[in-house]
Copies of this chain bind each other. A is one copy, B any other.
Amino acid sequence: MENIRIGIVGLGRLGKVHAFNISQNIPGACLVAACSLDKRELEYARNQLHVEETYSQYEEMIENSNLDAVCIVSPSGFHAEQIQLAMKKGLHVFSEKPMGLNIKEIENTIKIIDQCPNQVFQLGFMRRYDDSYKYAKKLVDNGEIGELTVIRCYGIDPSSGLESFVKFAKASNSGGLFSDMSIHDIDLVRWFSGKEVNRVWAMGKNAAYPELDQVNELETGVALMQLEDKTMAILVAGRNAIHGYHVETELIGTKGMLRIAQVPEKNLVTIFNEHGMVRPTSQNFPERFREAFICELKEFVECIQKNRQSEVTAYDGLQATKVAIACQRSVDTNQIIDIK
């Protein structure tokens, strides 16, 4: 079987992770083209990853590079259009979340995706491919913890990035804490429960950097959600975890409880020193989800090879975004928001 020829757009932090994986860690795939507006990023692709063709224009790349598939890791504002162009061009598409900035845009994109049933579309909800999450999902699906009653999801970025976030928050809006940070958690809530979110109340507090109030951004936020079957879900999102990258998920059921990364342990090392007993913790998403990023792309490639669709659909992207937007609206109004 021929190698799947993939082109990537966007070579920022996460883009580099995907580019490296496609070129090194995904048997059956090869990275043949890269697109970015940043020349140093393209140099990296050529020199470090031996990518042959580099572009500053996305349209040019998908026109000229004889690709089988694209991997979209550009800024969120470009996702919808780039997905649509690739789909129309007959390419398989792996896209980072979100699928678009608003519901209308996403719905239009889905229409186009739906017109191409033989092309694979997969969204980058990589947590579903993490060993610990998969292990938990299996236990839940096997009924080990009974019927779910409460789901608690923490997604807190390391504080090391907070200062620069504050600096640039004025210039470029993040889309809001819940869209930016919680969308993976919202997907987990839907994935574990198999249910949709009906109502949400969300709020936030800017304690370390009160000036974030002025640019309508949040340092730390909480959302409480009621699902269609009355299952309850709690989101804590933040940008200020001193100990690193804190992604934790809890599932409370009628027959037991499960926690994924109750402590986000970096490895199996325990240290006893003047502080007491210390477990080092994961410092960032590329470290925590290193394997998951590889596995989701292996799945994408296998879907292409075996001519089937991925478990993570465009519809999942739509629904997660709906909830994230409702969270933000709840913060803005300090009222419960119903999700239709």
Contact = CB atoms under 8 A, between A and B. Distances in A.
Q: Most chain-B CB neighbours within 10 Å: which of A135, A222, A226, A276?
A: A276
Interface string A315-333: 0000000000000000000
A144 B274 CA distance: 11
Interface string A257-274: 111111111111111111
Contact of A272 (B136, B234, B243, B269): B243
A152 B27 CA distance: 39
Interface string A145-189: 111111010000000000000000000000000000000000000
Contact of A135 (B224, B264, B269, B277): B269
A2 to B, nearest CB: 14
Interface string A263-301: 111111111111111111100000000000000000000
Interface in A214-253: 219-224, 226, 229-232, 234, 236, 238, 240-244, 246, 252-253
A232 B203 contact: yes
Contacts of A336: 201, 335-336
A197 to B, nearest CB: 13
B254 A207 contact: yes
B147 A208 contact: yes
A268 B230 contact: no
A205 interface: yes
A108 interface: no
Q: Give the most central of A149, A240, A257, A277: most B CB within 10 Å.
A: A277
A131 interface: yes
A172 to B, nearest CB: 23
